[in-house]
Structure 1
Amino acid sequence: MKNIKFLTGIFFILAAFTFTSCDNEPIDPAIDLDDFGGGGNNGGPIVFKADFSGSTWNATTAQANISNGLISIIGARGASGEAFAFQILGTATGTYPANENLLVYTPANSEYSYWSLDVNNGQTNTGSITITEINTQNNTISGTFNFTGYWSDSTVSNILPTVFTNGVFENIPFTTDGPAPSGDTFFAKVDGVEFVEDQIDAALITQVSGMPDQISIVGSKDNGDTVSLNIVRSLPVGTYQITGPFGEEVNGKCLANDLLYTAQSGTVTISTKTATRISGTFSMVVQNFTTSETKTVSQGTFDVEYN
């Protein structure tokens, strides 16, 4: 398998997981993260921490998003891209296998990450994440996680997997996506069948320090199926190749029947672009890591406002 560069860092997760642009929620530095209990249903202190390599890691900012059949969560520390980020294929409380979802830890100043999938055997049990509470009154989410992370640069053989234990996130504020801006259009065929979306979401994703901002475009159905693109904001009009699931300029994905398919190849053409609107065409071949099944997305078009 090709090296999986997280040049978009933890923000691939945010963009791919259709985060809307918003400020990270700060964690009060005066709070002793080990000296409190739960509190999700009363707006208690925000916590995001995990144990690995003999110490406890604590986030300084955290945020989440629930939309398009997905839960997305990030806990970050500092301005060097160090963060945990999760994408969960579901929107309810419960326990989700780590190898069937995406749990990622990116060290500071790194192009690569530890992620919850053994690329040599997608069936390997790498852990789990449990959503214990989704508080719709305070718009907060809480849970626990434990997973074994595999280094994403497959050409390096001397970096062993890292085990992340005692992971806890509590009272993380979440947002949900609103309706698409008026006049937006989106079209695609998946394996020759028209993807008839119920909603179009487009947003400017502001990345962590040193990472390029992205435009996220998502067509979604009420049943949770999605077809989506991520385009680096600075790209001008032109045609760009999708070089893999973590391409440096453009990438895409599909969610179908609760399975995530990431783009392995394809093209995205930007036809027109302003400071708030973008249009173009796209096609791609997407693949599910676990089953190796592929789908072909063709005749894709988009014309959306983003902000």
Structure 2
Amino acid sequence: MKILKYKLQFLVLFLLTLLTACVYEPIDGTVEPDPGGTTNSGNFKADFSGKTWTAKETQAIISGNFIEISAINAKGESFGIMIEGAAVGTYAANINILAYTPTGSEYGYWSINDDNPSEDTGSVTITSINTEAKTISGTFHFKGYWSDADNPKTPVTFTNGVFKDIPYITEAETADTFSAKVGGANFIDTDILTSLIGSGTTEFIAIGAEDANSNSISVNVKSNLTAGTYQITGNIATDVVQASYTTLSDINFKAVSGTVTITSITAERVKGTFNFTTNGATPFVITEGAFDVEY
């Protein structure tokens, strides 16, 4: 489970790019039929709590050695799939991520049991990647555990999951770039994920990148910032910019000093530079960091 921490952090951010402001009643077994239908963005459906859930919009990204798929219905409920792999085949749910997220929630039903991470909770099968039409198809099923460990809920079983002809783009087509040095050595990203997390005055633009060895760097900047240089002190309650470095062994080292410089920021894109030093007995020193990403 070497990439578990990375994926748990960033799949939620990926899903948040699709969420709407719709209001609905959370999963309770009596959810009203979906008023929306599918569009020409592919088909995605699954059964749970006595109903068939059907997506209105879908999207997918194939980048590096990852496949990310998301779907949303007219009420704002969403599904997300993120797997380590970029080929036809079957992938275990408990070492990848399958998730259902209620509208506007930062929590959802995830395919990982925190109390028993080795539990076989299901799988996702990629049946086709059409490189000419640039679509992806497959099936899935999983047992979902509520991701807020402090407020557990009864697990939900999702069955008969199908996604067909979901259009995908590659990382190169996003035009996003990310670079840095870790201890003087170049950090070469194989995957970049960005999105918004939080709401109102606590909303952050989250930028994350992972290398081929599953080490990852994340940089968060408050979404209402303007161009300028901002200090990292390690106090996440007050810092308007934050950063961290996560190793192959899933150990997360938080930045305790450094800066993030925003050179330009719009409603859709942010560009800047960064450097920071982490906590830990042997701190990581990240230098020459730079990003230019859409969020």
Whole-Å Cα distance in 2 between the matches of residues 203 and 110 of structure 1?
Answer: 19
Structure 1: stretches of 5+ with no match in the other structure: 16-20, 34-43, 287-295
Whole-Å Cα distance in 1 between the matches of residues 164 and 178 of structure 2?
Answer: 36
**TM-score normalised over the length of structure 1:** 0.67
Partner of 2:232 in structure 1? 239
How many pairs were matched up? 258
8 A Cα contact 1:99 1:124, kept in partner: yes
Two-structure CA RMSD over aligned residues (Å): 4.2
Partner of 2:50 in structure 1? 54
Whole-Å Cα distance in 2 between the matches of residues 219 and 300 of structure 1?
Answer: 14
Whole-Å Cα distance in 1 between the matches of residues 117 and 102 of structure 2?
Answer: 23
Whole-Å Cα distance in 1 between the matches of residues 50 and 177 of structure 2?
Answer: 53
**TM-score normalised over the length of structure 2:** 0.70
Whole-Å Cα distance in 2 between the matches of residues 251 and 127 of structure 1?
Answer: 33
Partner of 1:186 in structure 2? 180
Q: Establish whether residue 205 from structure 1 lines up as the match of residue 195 from structure 2.
A: yes
Whole-Å Cα distance in 1 between the matches of residues 277 and 64 of structure 2?
Answer: 21
Q: Establish whether residue 306 from structure 1 lines up as the match of residue 293 from structure 2.
A: yes
8 A Cα contact 1:68 1:225, kept in partner: no
Return closer, same or farther for 1:111/1:128 CA change in 2, 3 Å cut-off. same
Return closer, same or farther for 1:172/1:200 CA change in 2, 3 Å cut-off. closer
Whole-Å Cα distance in 2 between the matches of residues 138 and 149 of structure 1?
Answer: 32
Whole-Å Cα distance in 2 between the matches of residues 271 and 216 of structure 1?
Answer: 12
8 A Cα contact 2:145 2:156, kept in partner: yes
* SS of the residue 1:91 aligns to: coil
Q: How does 1:104-253 map to 2 (within 5 A)?
A: 104-157=99-152, 159-178=153-172, 185-189=179-183, 196-199=186-189, 205=195, 212=203, 214-218=205-209, 220-221=211-212, 225-234=214-223, 236=225, 237-239=230-232, 241=234
Return closer, same or farther for 1:56/1:268 CA change in 2, 3 Å cut-off. farther
Partner of 2:64 in structure 1? 68
Return closer, same or farther for 1:57/1:242 CA change in 2, 3 Å cut-off. farther
8 A Cα contact 1:202 1:304, kept in partner: no
Alpha-carbon offset, residue 64 of structure 1: 0.5
8 A Cα contact 2:207 2:220, kept in partner: yes
* SS of the residue 1:178 aligns to: helix
Letter in 1 for 2:46: A
Return closer, same or farther for 1:217/1:208 CA change in 2, 3 Å cut-off. closer
Structure 2: stretches of 5+ with no match in the other structure: 21-35
1:280 alignment partner, one of 254, 269, 274: 274
* SS of the residue 1:150 aligns to: strand
* SS of the residue 1:99 aligns to: helix
Partner of 1:12 in structure 2? 13
8 A Cα contact 2:83 2:97, kept in partner: yes
Alpha-carbon offset, residue 220 of structure 1: 3.1
Alpha-carbon offset, residue 112 of structure 1: 1.7
Whole-Å Cα distance in 2 between the matches of residues 125 and 270 of structure 1?
Answer: 42
